């Protein structure tokens, strides 16, 4: 993981560690406790995460210090159910109803769903911790969070923000996350403003228009979208429509309340729209979307890797370009024991570009990334299994 | 379209018609009005719809009488933009800003998006009409709505409920809708109850459990899901968790507030949970999801059809079985001029099954459908083009 070093402060943070989850054998009678000795006392998970801070690096730093702990804690809370293919209805393992296993089966609940639930709860817990820490130290800001967990033969990728994780396999590129921005989450955000108009304090319009409207547009019918529309319609413009739009701009310029470029993440508890009393937090979500990749269903090859990176990389390189770089770099560097970290450096350097005069340019003479750039290259292949 | 005739009242309704959309050439100066003569005065759409009523057939009947009119009206409101590949920012066609076309292009707005928006708005309008009609005549009930519109070379399928539309093509089966049930929309429904707990009036719990909890579960940790979870966790059961769940049951037994089996549709404005003051309508959505199929991108063959059917068919036959029946029936009946309506009858009869004693059974001796069954078979191929 390297940063681009073009801005004064680096707001990206990274973390990786092993997570040991203590098994609690609940539901054992005292004279059965010897059973514990038959099982390993810990389950092991492997964790990588990237946090892209905004409004200062503080939230990203706290998240990088706490999220793995929250995940450990949430996994330990459900560990009794995680070791079974079908988690029991009761964590104690005791059956209250004879048909309980049947109900669990009907709902298609698997051990994997407990890990997904634990990750969802861990992000929420971590968001609360950040809120408390920031309040206690009178700091501000927030961050996106992208976390990968390898646990019990499966890879879980939890994402809240605009970082991205992609599996680059021999014959296949598998996206493991999708981006949450004011643009991709427009309908959720507009719906909340429809349900609670007071959140906009009369300063914003919840409608989307192709551009910000002005006086000349009043009385005309212009293209618009409301919360329930994937399509577009025409709306007679009233004076209230001239207010600044709740979600505005396009692509990298899209902003929530004119303030934030992401719609999910951790922190931002104190964030208000400049010069107003309008809070941004109600429109943000700290809940990740979790994607699962089951290693048992795939034949993992030696050069197969998981690429995790902040938007600094993806703003200038698409999945296909990254996959191409990954494959050719690893093919050319078969023997280098540091080839995966060298590849990460190579990807960062490609996105950073080269300085030409005052500008940073890519090889193809497009403009390079001016954002912080962080990249993990995580090999998936287990040599011991060969 | 045929019904199964097993129940006393048929609650399915069907409608189909041509929709003529009057072009209004706005933005023409008086001396340019002769231009109108160069264009046809009407655009033509073709419309098919199925409505599956509940709590009586009334809402389905009103919907079958009004939805096409609402669609016509909403399309006429945007017709000035529909005829251009890129709709203008202003319906009048006049440019207020020189860069307006660029803004529209940046947002990727196409004529197709106006049709989608018109359908979304038409469903909402129709829901209001049904509300007024039902109130005026003191009637109750609601219905699902599945509408297909062929317009300007594209097929639009708008769905609110658990009916289904599928394209059966020569080498391909393309789903054109997805089902909206309390189960598929659990998170949306639970989230609303989280935001407005009063909607449950203390009578329901918003949490999902594998089964309804009872006294013996209190104090135990059992599997649960909240609105923000796709995964599962364990929750210490409190007395409040013994309340009836907001979304309960599995598959065809899933119910919203113990009352309704669908989560989207029209009507139900007066519906309350039995013996309470709890309204169901706030949890229902009348907004359809619209899918688009562009005929220009596909080589349509003579036997390619759109199958639309209420849940009576899909409860007992899957897409694959229906596609198989469609292909073999049409191959065997090349010359019959009524082969498409005969195929619809054949599909209904297959799902209705045969009476054996008191039971209706399918050919494979599974139980047949006891619900109303309605099927449209719509040929896609245009003979004139051969």
Residue B101's SS3 state is: helix
Q: Could you count the other beta carbons within 10 Å of the beta carbon of residue A222?
A: 24
Assess A91–B contact: CB distance below 8 Å, yes or no: yes
- pLDDT exceeds cutoff 80 at B37: no
Q: Closest Cα of chain B to A312: distance in Å?
A: 22
The answer to whether residues A28 and A53 touch, using CB atoms and an 8 Å cutoff, is no
For the segment B270-325, what is each residue's pLDDT rounded down to a tens digit? Answer: 999 999 999 999 999 999 999 999 999 999 999 999 999 999 999 999 999 999 99
pLDDT of the residue at A24: 67
pLDDT tier at A245, thresholds 50, 70, 90: very high
For the segment B117-138, what is each residue's pLDDT rounded down to a tens digit? Answer: 999 999 999 999 999 999 999 9
Per-domain boundaries in chain B: 2-25+41-89+109-180+286-379, 185-261
Find the closest chain A residue to B80 by CA distance: A234
The answer to whether residues B13 and B60 touch, using CB atoms and an 8 Å cutoff, is yes
- Angle between helix A339-352 and helix A319-332 axes, rounded to 10 deg: 140
pLDDT of the residue at A41: 82
The answer to whether residues A123 and A71 touch, using CB atoms and an 8 Å cutoff, is no
Q: Closest Cα of chain A to B290: distance in Å?
A: 8
pLDDT of the residue at A154: 97
Angstrom distance (rounded) from CA B347 to CA B328: 12
According to CATH, what is the number of the domain A2-25+41-89+109-180+286-379? 3.60.40.10
Assess B97–A contact: CB distance below 8 Å, yes or no: yes
Q: Closest Cα of chain B to A334: distance in Å?
A: 39
Assess A178–B contact: CB distance below 8 Å, yes or no: no
Q: What is the mean pLDDT of chain A?
A: 92
Q: Tell me whether residues A210 and B109 touch, CB distance under 8 A.
A: yes
Q: Tell me whether residues A114 and B231 touch, CB distance under 8 A.
A: yes
Residue A369's SS3 state is: coil
pLDDT of the residue at B31: 62
Q: Considering only the beta carbons, identify the residue of A89, A97, A250 that sits closest to B107.
A: A250
pLDDT of the residue at B153: 95
Q: Considering only the beta carbons, identify the residue of A118, A234, A287 that sits closest to B77.
A: A234
pLDDT of the residue at A273: 96
Residue B59's SS3 state is: helix
Q: Considering only the beta carbons, identify the residue of A89, A115, A287 that sits closest to B222.
A: A89
Find the closest chain B residue to A87 by CA distance: B223
Q: Closest Cα of chain B to A363: distance in Å?
A: 26
pLDDT tier at A298, thresholds 50, 70, 90: very high
Instruction: Choose the mutation target among A91, A93, A234 for the interface with B, i.e. most B CBs under 10 Å.
Output: A234
User: Judged by CB atoms within 8 Å, which residues 252-271 of A form the interface with B?
Assistant: none
Q: Tell me whether residues B233 and A100 touch, CB distance under 8 A.
A: no
Angstrom distance (rounded) from CA A354 to CA A368: 8
Buried b (16+ CB within 10 A) or exposed e, A268-279: bbbbebeeeebb
pLDDT of the residue at B96: 82
Q: Closest Cα of chain B to A222: distance in Å?
A: 5
Lowest mean pLDDT among A90-99, A137-146, A253-262, B270-279: A90-99
Which residues from B are below 8 Å from A103, CB to CB?
210-211
pLDDT of the residue at A181: 97
Assess B158–A contact: CB distance below 8 Å, yes or no: no
* Residue B316: C-alpha distances to residues A377, B6, B11, B253, B363 (Å): 48, 15, 18, 15, 11
- pLDDT exceeds cutoff 90 at B203: yes
How large is the average pLDDT for residues B206-235?
A: 96
How large is the average pLDDT for residues A156-180?
A: 97
How large is the average pLDDT for residues B76-102?
A: 90
**pTM here?**
0.93
Assess A220–B contact: CB distance below 8 Å, yes or no: yes
B227 contact partners, CB below 8 Å, separation of at least 6: B187, B190, B191, B193, B194, B206
pLDDT tier at A83, thresholds 50, 70, 90: confident
For the segment B349-385, what is each residue's pLDDT rounded down to a tens digit? Answer: 999 888 888 888 888 888 888 888 999 999 999 766 5
Angstrom distance (rounded) from CA B328 to CA A296: 39
Cα four-point dihedral sign A224, A229, A232, A234: negative
- pLDDT exceeds cutoff 80 at B216: yes
pLDDT of the residue at A128: 98
The answer to whether residues B180 and B166 touch, using CB atoms and an 8 Å cutoff, is no
Instruction: Choose the mutation target among A231, A250, A253, A286 for the interface with B, i.e. most B CBs under 10 Å.
Output: A231
pLDDT tier at A208, thresholds 50, 70, 90: very high
Residue B80's SS3 state is: helix
User: Judged by CB atoms within 8 Å, which residues 221-250 of B form the interface with A?
Assistant: 221-223, 225, 228-234, 250
How large is the average pLDDT for residues A225-236?
A: 98
pLDDT of the residue at A370: 81
Q: Tell me whether residues A77 and B233 touch, CB distance under 8 A.
A: yes
Which residues from B are below 8 Å from A229, CB to CB?
116-117, 120-121
Q: Tell me whether residues A233 and B290 touch, CB distance under 8 A.
A: no
As a whole-number percent, the residues of chain A with pLDDT over 90 amount to 80
Assess A86–B contact: CB distance below 8 Å, yes or no: no
Q: Tell me whether residues A221 and B115 touch, CB distance under 8 A.
A: no
A217 contact partners, CB below 8 Å, separation of at least 6: A237, A241, A242, B90, B96
Maximum Cα–Cα distance across chain B: 83
User: Judged by CB atoms within 8 Å, which residues 289-318 of A form the interface with B?
Assistant: 289-290
Q: Tell me whether residues B220 and A118 touch, CB distance under 8 A.
A: no
pLDDT tier at A60, thresholds 50, 70, 90: very high
Residue A238's SS3 state is: coil
Q: Tell me whether residues B96 and A220 touch, CB distance under 8 A.
A: yes
Nearest by Cα to B159 from B21, B285, B321: B285
Which residues from B are below 8 Å from A107, CB to CB?
210, 250
Q: Tell me whether residues B78 and A234 touch, CB distance under 8 A.
A: yes
Q: Closest Cα of chain B to A131: distance in Å?
A: 19
Q: Provide the β-strand partners of residue A356.
A: A359
Q: Tell me whether residues A231 and B119 touch, CB distance under 8 A.
A: yes
- pLDDT exceeds cutoff 60 at A385: no
pLDDT of the residue at B179: 96
Q: Are strands B247-248 and B354-356 parallel, antiparallel or unpaired?
A: unpaired
- pLDDT exceeds cutoff 80 at A261: yes
For the segment B175-197, what is each residue's pLDDT rounded down to a tens digit? Answer: 999 999 999 999 999 999 999 99
pLDDT of the residue at B35: 60
């Amino acid at each position: 993981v390297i940063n681009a070093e073009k801005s004064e402060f680096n707001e990206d943070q990274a973390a990786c560690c092993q997570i040991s989850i203590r098994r609690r054998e609940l539901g054992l009678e005292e004279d059965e406790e010897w059973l514990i000795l038959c099982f390993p006392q810990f389950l092991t998970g492997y964790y990588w995460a990237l946090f892209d801070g905004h409004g200062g690096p503080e939230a990203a730093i706290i998240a990088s210090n706490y999220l793995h702990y929250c995940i450990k804690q949430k996994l330990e809370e459900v560990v009794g159910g995680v070791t079974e293919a079908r988690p029991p209805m009761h964590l104690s393992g005791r059956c209250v109803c004879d048909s309980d296993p049947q109900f669990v089966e009907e709902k298609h609940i698997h051990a994997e769903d407990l890990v997904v639930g634990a990750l969802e709860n861990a992000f929420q817990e971590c968001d609360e911790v950040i809120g408390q820490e920031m309040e206690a130290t009178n700091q501000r800001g927030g961050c996106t969070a992208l976390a990968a967990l390898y646990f019990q033969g499966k890879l879980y990728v939890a994402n809240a923000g605009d970082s991205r994780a992609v599996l680059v396999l021999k014959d296949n590129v598998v996206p493991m996350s999708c981006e949450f921005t004011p643009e991709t989450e427009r309908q959720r955000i507009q719906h909340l403003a429809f349900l609670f108009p007071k959140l906009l304090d009369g300063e914003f319009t919840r409608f989307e228009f192709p551009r910000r409207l002005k006086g000349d547009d009043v009385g005309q019918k212009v293209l618009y979208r409301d919360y329930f529309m994937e399509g577009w319609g025409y709306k007679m413009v009233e004076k209230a429509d001239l207010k600044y739009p709740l979600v505005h701009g396009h692509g990298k310029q899209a902003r929530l309340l004119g303030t934030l470029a992401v719609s999910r993440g951790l922190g931002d508890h104190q964030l208000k729209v400049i010069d107003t009393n309008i809070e941004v937090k109600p429109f943000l979500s700290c809940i990740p979307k979790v994607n699962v990749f089951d290693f048992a269903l795939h034949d993992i090859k030696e050069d197969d890797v998981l690429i995790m990176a902040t938007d600094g990389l993806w703003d200038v390189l698409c999945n296909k370009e990254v996959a191409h770089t990954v494959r050719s770099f690893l093919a050319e560097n078969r023997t280098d024991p540091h080839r995966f970290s060298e590849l990460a450096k190579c990807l960062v350097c490609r996105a950073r570009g080269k300085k030409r005069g005052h500008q940073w340019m890519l090889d193809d003479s497009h403009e390079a990334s001016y954002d912080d750039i962080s990249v993990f290259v995580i090999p998936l292949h287990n040599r011991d299994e060969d």
